[in-house]
Structure 1
Amino acid sequence: MMLKRLIPAVACAALLAACGTTGGGAGAAAKAASVATAMAEADAAVAAGQADKAYTVLKGAAQAFPTDKTPWVRMAQMRFDANDYGMAIVNAQEALERDPDDTLAHSIAAVSGLRVTSEALTDLSRMKKINGDVRSEAQDLAKLLRASLGEEELVPGGAKSRPPAKRPRAPAAQTPAKAATSATSDPFGGLR
């Protein structure tokens, strides 16, 4: 009687153990082949000029293999190349959730963030709205970037390496401070 109860329990435990194995064997090979197949299909779509199709293939691969970083890194690179920096950051962050040490994903996120920041600062400068807290925080970030990069200037060949530009005299209707602000078009001039 005891044996009749034990056989189903052992069979159930063996079945659960078989379902719980991951990693090795044919399952891992099938996964690698499927991700590799999706990457090849995405590459073919990009080569054919079908970036939307490639992105859809990669998105499907990311959903089918949620722990694999490869589709996310590739989507991040595609969005970066298309100047869609916001989505490049989002996709790079997804890759970094799967592999926090991925250098390419970190690079895409960092450079995309800098480009978004540069665009925003350029817009603010054009509207003459860089002042107060925005200006001081931008200067602090510029100092951090210089220290991180080991550079004295963020933009090599920038204002410090060029001879000073001759500024036109301020018209009588403008104050000297306003004339100096309008004479410079470099939004990062004060950040160097």
Structure 2
Amino acid sequence: MIKKRVLTSILSIAVLAGCASTAPAPAPKPAPMANAMADADAAVKAGRTDQAYSILKAATVAHPTDKSPWLRMSQLRFDDKNYGEAIVAGLQAIERDPDDMLAYSLVAVSGLRVSSKALGDLTQKNGFSGSVRSEAQDLATLLHTKLGGPIVPVKRDEKPRAAGIRAAAPAAVPAIKCSGPFCGLN
């Protein structure tokens, strides 16, 4: 009988000990964004852009609603001529702040540089003809119209003008027949 009571008491204590738990330690607070940005800037100044990018990437996890690390990552990738990643990071910054004009500029210029390189590669490989060529010309006309610059058409027999020499601007920009993925830029 005493064995039963001792055994029952030990089992009860073991069950109660299993139920008792200590409060979990509070999760460490993430470092303030200012610290992450300062660390990233220091890494950039030291020439370690990959380390700066890693610091900023960690800051995006710690501060998911802050646009600052995304904007800085976009700028870093743009400066490194990694335009694809600059676009992705810039779009993340825009998602967090739709009014950020720097983010829009980084995305737009990065996209134009990617397009320019692709068109240049196509031209070198003699693959720039037909509908691709006409769509690119339509896009160039649209960009010139939106940016307010003159459009200087180049005839097939004529060589492009030297840099710095500009032809007179046409009196009026012709209407653009828009067909393709860039129609929404109007």
The AA in structure 2 aligned to 1:144 is: L
Alignment partner of 1:133 out of 131, 134, 140: 131
- Structure 1 position 159, deviation (Å): 2.1
Work out the percentage of aligned pairs sharing the same amino acid: 55
Alignment partner of 1:122 out of 120, 123, 133: 120
* Partner deviation per Cα, 1:48-83 (whole Å, 9 max, x = no partner): 111111000000001111110000000000000000
Q: What's the counterpart of residue 146 of structure 1?
A: 144
- Structure 1 position 133, deviation (Å): 1.2
Q: What's the counterpart of residue 62 of structure 2?
A: 64
Q: What's the counterpart of residue 161 of structure 2?
A: 159
- Structure 1 position 140, deviation (Å): 0.9
- Structure 1 position 153, deviation (Å): 3.9
Report the TM-score when normalising by structure 2: 0.66
**Ranges of 4+ aligned residues in structure 1 off by more than 3 Å:** 160-164
The AA in structure 2 aligned to 1:59 is: K
Rg (Cα) greater in structure: 2
Alignment partner of 2:88 out of 87, 90, 98: 90
- Structure 1 position 152, deviation (Å): 0.6
- Structure 1 position 163, deviation (Å): 8.9
How is 1:12-91 mapped onto 2 (pairs within 5 angstroms)? Answer: 34-91=32-89
> Cα RMSD over matched residues?
2.2
Report the TM-score when normalising by structure 1: 0.64
- 2:93·2:103 contact (CA, 8 Å) conserved in 1? yes
* Partner deviation per Cα, 1:29-55 (whole Å, 9 max, x = no partner): x98x71111000000111111111100
More helix by share: 1
The AA in structure 2 aligned to 1:150 is: G
Q: Whole-Å Cα distance in 2 between the matches of residues 145 and 34 of structure 1? A: 41
- Structure 1 position 162, deviation (Å): 3.7
Q: Whole-Å Cα distance in 2 between the matches of residues 138 and 110 of structure 1? A: 16
Structure 2: runs of 5 or more not aligned: 1-28, 153-159, 168-186
Structure 1: runs of 5 or more not aligned: 1-29, 165-192
The AA in structure 1 aligned to 2:145 is: A
Could you say what secondary structure the match of 2:32 adopts?
Answer: helix
Q: Whole-Å Cα distance in 2 between the matches of residues 90 and 39 of structure 1? A: 19
Q: Whole-Å Cα distance in 2 between the matches of residues 40 and 163 of structure 1? A: 45
- 2:71·2:103 contact (CA, 8 Å) conserved in 1? yes
Q: Whole-Å Cα distance in 1 between the matches of residues 62 and 54 of structure 2? A: 12
- Structure 1 position 132, deviation (Å): 1.0
The AA in structure 2 aligned to 1:38 is: A
Q: Whole-Å Cα distance in 1 between the matches of residues 151 and 87 of structure 2? A: 25
